[in-house]
Amino acid sequence: MKTETYQLLRRLHDRHGPREFGKICQKLLAIACRLAGFEHVVERGVQGVDVDVALLTERYATEVKTTEKDSVVFQQKDMEGLASRRQDGYQPLLAVLRLSPFSDWHLVSIEHLRTGNLLIASLRPYRRRDLEERLTPRFDEGLGAHFDGAWADSQSYLDKVLRNLGVQVLDTE
């Protein structure tokens, strides 16, 4: 990722802590999807698949994981949640962001994944580079535009942004 992006994310992480940071990234990814042209975007702050996006017949259901380590835990319930979206025509994806200057979003097809602790490097063969290339610049753009708001008001600010962009936000409210 770009240094600027990394540093902004690092500041958000240091301010809000890893858990909140994960939620912020999820919402920023939803914003990026919307900015990338996906017409139908659903972001879930509640249990279930984190982000659903659709553009005509192109549909993805995404589980979002953020970490500072070299691996993420892909749980059985994540796998099952994603698999259940297949019936609606959604391709299940695992979106992994490692907070590091040389990392980028890994958008990974889950077909070949097992559950448990996954080494991020082992996800490489299954990356959807086409999607990553579409979303990463939009993510940087969204982060740049909404950093101040996310810094100050975190999720509540980003929820407003999402709603203004026409994204369906499902949260605990």
Quick one: which of 103, 132, 140, 141 contacts other proteins (CB under 8 A)?
103
Work out whether the CA dihedral 46, 106, 61, 157 comes out positive or negative: positive
Q: Which is nearer to other proteins, 18 or 101 (CB)?
A: 101
Burial code (b: 16+ CB inside 10 Å, e: under 16) for 58-94 equals ebbbbbbbbbeeebbebeeebbebbeebeeeebbbbb
If one asks whether residue 7 binds other proteins (CB under 8 A), the answer comes out as: yes
Quick one: which of 125, 130, 164, 172 contacts other proteins (CB under 8 A)?
125
Type of residue found at 66:
T
Locate tokens 């929820």: which residue? 159
If one asks whether residue 101 binds other proteins (CB under 8 A), the answer comes out as: yes
Work out whether the CA dihedral 44, 15, 120, 102 comes out positive or negative: positive
Q: Which is nearer to other proteins, 9 or 54 (CB)?
A: 9
Q: Which is nearer to other proteins, 2 or 160 (CB)?
A: 2
Q: Which is nearer to other proteins, 56 or 125 (CB)?
A: 125
Q: Which is nearer to other proteins, 119 or 170 (CB)?
A: 119
Q: Which residues contact 47 (CB under 8 A, 6 or more apart)?
A: none
If one asks whether residue 112 binds other proteins (CB under 8 A), the answer comes out as: yes
Nearest to 5 by CA among 124, 99, 127: 99
If one asks whether residue 123 binds other proteins (CB under 8 A), the answer comes out as: yes
Instruction: Write down the least CB distance from residue 75 to other proteins, Å.
Output: 21
Return the range that interacts with other proteins (CB under 8 A); candidates 6-14, 18-26, 37-45, 158-166. 6-14
